[in-house]
Amino acid sequence: MDELRTKYIEAIAAAADEATLEELRVRAVGKKGEISLKMRELGKMTPEERQVAGPALNALKNEINSALAAKKVALSDAALDARLATEWLDVTLPSRTRRVGSIHPISQVTEEVTAIFADMGFAVAEGPQIETDWYNFDALNIPGHHPARAEMDTFYTHRAEDDERRPHVLRTHTSPVQIRTMEKDGAPIRIICPGRVYRADYDQTHTPMFHQVEGLALGKDISMANLKWVLEEFFSAFFGTDVKTRFRASHFPFTEPSAEVDIQCSWEGGTVKVGEGDDWLEVLGSGMVHPNVLKAGGIDPDEYQGFAFGMGIDRLAMLKYGIPDLRAFFDSDLRWLRHYGFASLDQPTLHGGLNR
Ligand code: PHE
């Protein structure tokens, strides 16, 4: 019995893992283990012998079982310690730096434009980018045969072969929002509508998708003089310097009279500077809203009148921030975005100063 005790207690102490421990358990106290077999022999003993051997074997079995249990706990503690040592993590280390995104110049300029017009009492209106040709053309006094339809390089949506209805278009300008706003709000109106527009065109100064901002002011006595003041006020605030404008007689089906507006600029060393010099740069189309357009929007042209204008936001961004190629605006090149982008907390406001 002493031999058995010594053999198993030493082996248990020396076991390096749980598998070895289990093997020892089976060999010692398992059904056919050495100690279990010894216990079976008790039956063949004399009662006197049994009285001595029985309790001694039981004690030995208990001793081995508790040695196994203790060793098992010790092994799993050791395994946990080893894991804790290898999987150690220093949570006080500085984290990896993450690059913060930037605001696209178009978004920035849209915010700037909105801030300036909001200060003059203009609210922001919106409309869908996929338009019916009624809103994009007819309601704006551009009937079916009108050459302006072809000139605008319109994208048409697809209709099923036997579907006779006229296809929807990707709006070619923000002017349909004039009609939608008239229908929804009635006169008087003072809104701008910044948004995406589409034309099939692509070169250094044209992309198939670009941005315009529409302006519309309707009232009892709104005139071209008000238009001129509003635009000069806008350009001076936007460029941060007094900007002269030049109105040139022009033609749009939806305004009468119509004017294209140039802003004062200089060309020195191939770069354009707004608000100085004696060159002119065309930046927008405008005019007094045509009576037919007011009628299409459900407004009585004998009672109300007003002006409308439309200009390119991308163009304004290029001019103000010296960005040479329009196509790069929409390439999503991270190097370009980091270079020309704006800090996300740098919200343009009039009281914060638009021209830092
Ligand atoms: N819609 C015209 C364009 O896209 C611009 C414009 C708007 C002209 C409003 C006059 C009045 O070119």
Q: Each residue's pLDDT tens digit in the chain (356 positions)? A: 888 889 999 999 999 988 999 999 999 998 898 998 888 888 888 888 888 888 988 999 999 999 999 999 999 999 899 998 899 888 899 988 888 889 999 999 999 999 999 999 999 999 999 999 999 999 999 988 887 777 678 999 999 999 988 899 999 999 999 999 999 999 999 999 999 999 998 888 889 999 999 999 999 999 999 999 999 999 999 999 999 999 999 999 999 999 999 999 998 877 888 999 999 999 999 999 999 999 999 999 999 999 999 999 999 999 999 898 889 999 999 999 999 999 887 788 888 777 55
Token pair of 289 as six digits: 């809203």
CA of 285 to the centre of ligand 1 (A): 5
Mutation test residue for ligand 1: of 182, 252, 286, 288, the one with most atoms within 8 Å of CB = 252
CA of 308 to the centre of ligand 1 (A): 8
Q: In angstroms, rounded to a whole number, what is the distance separating the alpha carbons of residues 25 and 19?
A: 10
Give the chain's length. Answer: 356
Which long-range CB contacts under 8 A does 206-209 form with residues at least 24 apart? 206/326, 207/314, 207/326, 207/327, 207/329, 207/330, 208/155, 209/330
Binding site listing for Mg(2+): 256
Q: In angstroms, rounded to a whole number, what is the distance separating the alpha carbons of residues 202 and 327?
A: 8
Whether this prediction's pTM lies above 0.85 is answered by: no
Q: Which atom of ligand 1 is nearest to the CA of 310?
A: 7
306 lines ligand 1 (CB under 6 A): no
173 lines ligand 1 (CB under 6 A): yes
287 lines ligand 1 (CB under 6 A): yes
Closest listed residue to residue 265, CA positions, set 316, 308, 303, 221 = 316
Q: Note the pLDDT of residue 39.
A: 87
CA of 161 to the centre of ligand 1 (A): 33
286 lines ligand 1 (CB under 6 A): yes
Q: Note the pLDDT of residue 65.
A: 92
Closest listed residue to residue 198, CA positions, set 104, 144, 130 = 130
CA of 138 to the centre of ligand 1 (A): 14
Q: Note the pLDDT of residue 348.
A: 83
Q: Which atom of ligand 1 is nearest to the CA of 173?
A: 4
105 lines ligand 1 (CB under 6 A): no
Q: Note the pLDDT of residue 355.
A: 58
Token pair of 209 as six digits: 């998708």
Closest listed residue to residue 235, CA positions, set 112, 105, 137 = 112
Q: In angstroms, rounded to a whole number, what is the distance separating the alpha carbons of residues 233 and 231?
A: 5
CA of 315 to the centre of ligand 1 (A): 14
Mutation test residue for ligand 1: of 135, 153, 169, 173, the one with most atoms within 8 Å of CB = 173
- Other residues' Cβ atoms within 10 Å of the Cβ of residue 228: 16
Q: Which atom of ligand 1 is nearest to the CA of 140?
A: 1
Q: In angstroms, rounded to a whole number, what is the distance separating the alpha carbons of residues 75 and 59?
A: 24
Residue 313, SS3 per DSSP: helix
308 lines ligand 1 (CB under 6 A): yes
137 lines ligand 1 (CB under 6 A): no
Q: Note the pLDDT of residue 53.
A: 87
Residue 316 contacts residue 109 (beta carbons within 8 Å):
yes
Q: In angstroms, rounded to a whole number, what is the distance separating the alpha carbons of residues 291 and 296?
A: 9
Please give the full DSSP string across 103-120, using - where no structure is assigned.
B-HHHHHHHHHHHHHHHT
| CATH superfamily for domain 106-340 | Bira Bifunctional Protein; Domain 2 (3.30.930.10)
Q: Which atom of ligand 1 is nearest to the CA of 172?
A: 4
| Angle value at C-alpha 259, between 253 and 262, nearest 5 degrees | 135
